[in-house]
Amino acid sequence: DTSMTVTVIGLGPMGRAMAGAYLDRGYEVTVWNRTPARADSLIARGAHRATSVAEALTANTLVVVSLTGYDAVHAVLGQAPSAALTGRTVVNLTSDTQDQVRRAATWLAELGAVQVTGGVLTPPPGIGTPGAMSYYSGPLEAIETHRRALEVLTGIDYLGEDPGLAALFYQIGIDMFWTGLLAYLHGQALAEANGISAQEFLPRALNAMDLRYFLEFYAPRIDAGNHAGDVDTLTMGAASLEHVVRTAQASGVDVSLPTAALDLFRRGIAAGHGGNSLTSLLGILRKGVG
Ligand code: NDP
């Protein structure tokens, strides 16, 4: 599809960045947002303001949706008569669980619309910049049809036909993102409690967060079911985490994060994996048992 027209529904920071990227590329952009004032700066730049969801949907075949979650998706799309959705390609870049995403895809399909699911892997300032990526899943044909328009926003990492896949991979990534950033923040709290500034700590933090070697080491062993303790053991890890908890205590820093990690190691040891590798904790993480 070479027509450079698109509707953007949902003008939070992400939706505004997306509508802005389309305007930058010369697209004709129609926008709708529950709080109309959020569209003002885009209207000033030449976007059309839809006064209803139905008007926004019927304006263009390609509809990009960026809302807080799928409750909002249903609250918004449900405002239009279902005929307004027929024939639309709804590129839903709203975050939610894979089940919610699949249900919405089925609902839209019943109305004669196609949902393309996306999970955006960049903050709003990254939209429209080289290197930005999103996970996509859903009908490949629809993605190919609108590839040019999608790539105005970010690159495409296509995961497969199942609409839930983009949501699943996105949530897994966000799981790691928040716990990983909290690990950084906890390290910085320890540094700060000992008079070390964030800037001074930064090169060491970058080094500590660079886990590539370990991921590449463990992934094939996990797939092979090899949790041998030839390089690391849970017993060693627990002793090491006890030192961390004591260091945090002595520094007056909250211990909930390393304590949660230590608790997982202890559960692994109690389940008989003391002599096995960190990866033997997967059994505990998957089922809550050893
Ligand atoms: P926001 O939550 O700030 O934006 C939410 C949008 O949803 C607003 O337009 C808001 O309308 C609308 N909305 C929420 N609830 C309702 C409702 N019940 N009825 C109608 N409209 C509703 O999110 P962002 O713009 O930051 O992000 C959008 C999506 O992109 C989210 O799913 C987010 O997880 C994802 N994402 C965000 C990133 C980021 O860094 N911001 C990064 C990657 C993904 P109103 O203006 O009226 O409140």
Q: Which residues pair with 81 in a beta bridge?
A: none
Pair type for strands 5-9 and 62-65: parallel
Q: Are residues 127 and 241 in the same domain?
A: no
Q: Are residues 199 and 96 in the same domain?
A: no
Can you tell me which residue has the tokens 């305007």? 23
Contact 21, 31 (CB under 8 A): no
What is the distance between the alpha carbons of residues 4 and 60, in angstroms, rounded to a whole number? 10
Under DSSP, is residue 246 helix (H, G, I), strand (E, B) or coil?
Answer: helix
Q: Are residues 43 and 112 in the same domain?
A: yes
Q: Are residues 213 and 98 in the same domain?
A: no
Spacing of C-alpha 42 from chain mean position: 26
The number of residues making up the chain comes to 290
Residue 117: name the closest of 147, 148, 139 by CA: 139
What is the distance between the alpha carbons of residues 247 and 269, in angstroms, rounded to a whole number? 22
**Measuring from atom 40 of ligand 1, which residue has the nearest CA?**
123
Contact 77, 56 (CB under 8 A): no
Give the pLDDT of residue 249: 98
Under DSSP, is residue 91 helix (H, G, I), strand (E, B) or coil?
Answer: strand
ipTM of the complex: 0.98
Tokens of 140: 């490949």
- How many folded domains does the chain comprise? 2
Q: Are residues 131 and 268 in the same domain?
A: no
Give the pLDDT of residue 3: 85
Boundary-marking domain end, from 135, 161, 187:
161
Boundary-marking domain end, from 107, 137, 161:
161
Give the CATH number for residue 182. Answer: 1.10.1040.10
Give the pLDDT of residue 290: 45
The alpha carbon torsion through 136, 168, 78, 48 (nearest 10 deg) reads -40
Instruction: Per-residue pLDDT tens, the chain, 290 aa: give them.
Output: 678 999 999 999 999 999 999 999 999 999 999 999 999 999 999 999 999 999 999 999 999 999 999 999 999 999 999 999 999 999 999 999 999 999 999 999 999 999 999 999 999 999 999 999 999 999 999 999 999 999 999 999 999 999 999 999 999 999 999 999 999 999 999 999 999 999 999 999 999 999 999 999 999 999 999 999 999 999 999 999 999 999 999 999 999 999 999 999 999 999 999 999 999 999 999 975 44
Give the pLDDT of residue 287: 79
Which amino acid is residue 115, in one-letter code?
Q
Q: Are residues 199 and 124 in the same domain?
A: no
Which amino acid is residue 2, in one-letter code?
T
CA of 171 to the centre of ligand 1 (A): 16
What is the distance between the alpha carbons of residues 209 and 199, in angstroms, rounded to a whole number? 15
Q: Are residues 114 and 219 in the same domain?
A: no
CA distances from 33 to 39, 69, 172 (A): 7, 14, 29
Boundary-marking domain end, from 161, 194, 221:
161
Q: Are residues 155 and 119 in the same domain?
A: yes
Which amino acid is residue 79, in one-letter code?
Q
Q: Are residues 155 and 183 in the same domain?
A: no
Give the CATH number for residue 34. Answer: 3.40.50.720
CA of 11 to the centre of ligand 1 (A): 7
Under DSSP, is residue 264 helix (H, G, I), strand (E, B) or coil?
Answer: helix
CA of 84 to the centre of ligand 1 (A): 22
Q: Are residues 152 and 179 in the same domain?
A: no
Question: Ligand 1 — pocket residues by CB below 6 A?
Answer: 10-15, 33-35, 38, 66-68, 72, 75-76, 93-95, 120, 123-124
CA distances from 289 to 31, 106, 112, 274, 286 (A): 49, 35, 45, 15, 8
Q: Are residues 196 and 123 in the same domain?
A: no
Range of the domain at 117: 5-161
Integer-rounded Cα Rg, in Å, for the chain is 23
CA of 39 to the centre of ligand 1 (A): 14
Beta sheet of 48-49, edge-to-edge order: 48-49, 28-32, 5-9, 62-65, 89-92, 114-120, 133-137, 155-158
The alpha carbon torsion through 119, 122, 126, 132 (nearest 10 deg) reads -70
Q: Are residues 273 and 174 in the same domain?
A: yes
For residue 59, what is the enclosing H or E element?
helix 53-59
